[in-house]
Amino acid sequence: MFITIDEKDRRPIYLQVVDEIKTLIARGELKEGTPLPPVRQVAANLGVNLNTIATAYRELQEEGLISIKHGTGAIVTSSRANNFSSEEDLRRPLRAALTQLVLVGLSSKEILDLVAEELKQLVKGGK
């Protein structure tokens, strides 16, 4: 399982980890039932503290994507997020991302291509 963290990214490391794992789940690279690697192992690989990864796992558990069992480890339990979010909550981050692409000078077509490309990687499996 490949996760990378970005020093330059201003968001906290644990949230970066959360997003990377979410993407892996969305892509189907982590299917339901799959065990996640131990907290300590991920922490060692990324060179960060154990607690940082533990926080990420806890967050994923709260969103209902994984289940953590004491003494046993964590497994993916769902590829569906508990959606307590309103449509606006989903639109906001999308709009912000698109806005930045526009401001950087990309044309509508370039943006749509970019979106299509990313989306294709996310739903490789089908749907």
The reply to whether 45 sits near a copy of itself by the rule CB under 8 A is no
* Binding residues for DNA restricted to 33-62, rule: CB under 7 A: 36, 38-41, 47-52, 54-55, 57-58
Using CA atoms of 54, 56, 62, 67 in order, give the dihedral in degrees to the nearest 10: -60
Could you tell me the end-to-end alpha-carbon distance of the chain, in angstroms, rounded to an integer?
23
The 8-class DSSP code of residue 29 comes to S
Helix (H) or strand (E) holding 69: strand 66-69
* Binding residues for DNA restricted to 60-119, rule: CB under 7 A: 68-74
Q: Look at the alpha carbons of 25, 23, 13, 5 in this order and tell me if their dihedral is positive or negative.
A: positive
Strands 73-76, 66-69: pairing kind: antiparallel
- One of 1, 31, 108, 113 touching a copy of itself (CB under 8 A): 108
Q: Name the residue nearer to DNA (CB basis): 15 or 123.
A: 15
Angle, helices 50-62/39-46, rounded to nearest 10 degrees: 120
Q: Name the residue nearer to DNA (CB basis): 49 or 82.
A: 49
Nearest approach in angstroms of CB 56 to DNA is 8
Sites of contact with a copy of itself (CB under 8 A): 6-9, 12, 19, 22-23, 25-26, 49, 62, 65, 67, 70-71, 79-81, 83, 85, 88-105, 107-108, 111-112, 114-116, 118-119, 122-123, 127
